[in-house]
Structures are given as C-alpha cells and as structure tokens.
C-alpha cells in the first residue's frame, strides 16, 4: 500500500510539473521572464530525481509566481474575491 501511495505522489508531481510547463509557455509578454521560469522548471525536474518532496515544494512556489504573473497580465489584483 505504501508503494501505491508513493507512486500516486510521483504521478501527481509529474502532472503538476506538466501543468506548470503549459502555464509558463502560455504566459504573455516578456520572453526573458518566461525563459527564467523555464530554467526554474528544469532545476525542479532535476531536483525531483533526488528529492521529490523538496521539488514539489519548489514547484508550488513557482506555480504561485506564475499565477501572480497571470493575474497581473489580466489586470486583476490579488485583493479581489
């Protein structure tokens, strides 16, 4: 059962990593910023080879940054509900 749970966590991480890649590619505007986010994705993928939980935490921080950039590109502030 533990192996199943671990496999599920890896699959969820991989899905989140694919989602992050798709969202970074879809960001409008500054190509340099998108390249920097892409480099962060590569670093996270490399870290996942050794430490998936730590890579997952870094991925969540990156997704938060991407979400902020998406919100700013739409002109929506984070204080709205």
| 27: in domain | yes
pLDDT value at position 5? 86
Say yes or no to pLDDT of 73 above 90.
Answer: no
Number of domains comprising the chain: 1
| 48: in domain | yes
| 78: in domain | no
| 19: in domain | yes
The C-alpha atoms of residue 63 and residue 78 are separated, in whole angstroms, by: 15
Domain housing 57: 2-72
| 66: in domain | yes
| 33: in domain | yes
pLDDT digits (tens, 9 = 90+) for 11-53: 999 999 999 999 999 999 889 999 999 999 999 999 999 999 9
List helix spans (H) across 1-81: 2-26, 31-48, 52-74
pLDDT digits (tens, 9 = 90+) for 57-70: 999 999 999 999 99
| 79: in domain | no
pLDDT band at 2; cut points 50, 70, 90: confident
């Amino acid at each position: 059962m533990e192996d199943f749970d671990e496999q599920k966590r890896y699959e969820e991480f991989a899905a989140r990593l694919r989602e992050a890649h798709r969202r970074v590619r879809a960001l409008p505007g500054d190509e340099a910023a998108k390249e920097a986010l892409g480099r962060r994705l590569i670093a996270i993928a490399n870290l996942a080879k050794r430490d998936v939980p730590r890579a997952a935490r870094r991925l969540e921080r990156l997704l938060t940054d991407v979400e902020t950039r998406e919100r700013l590109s739409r002109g929506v502030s984070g204080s709205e509900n």
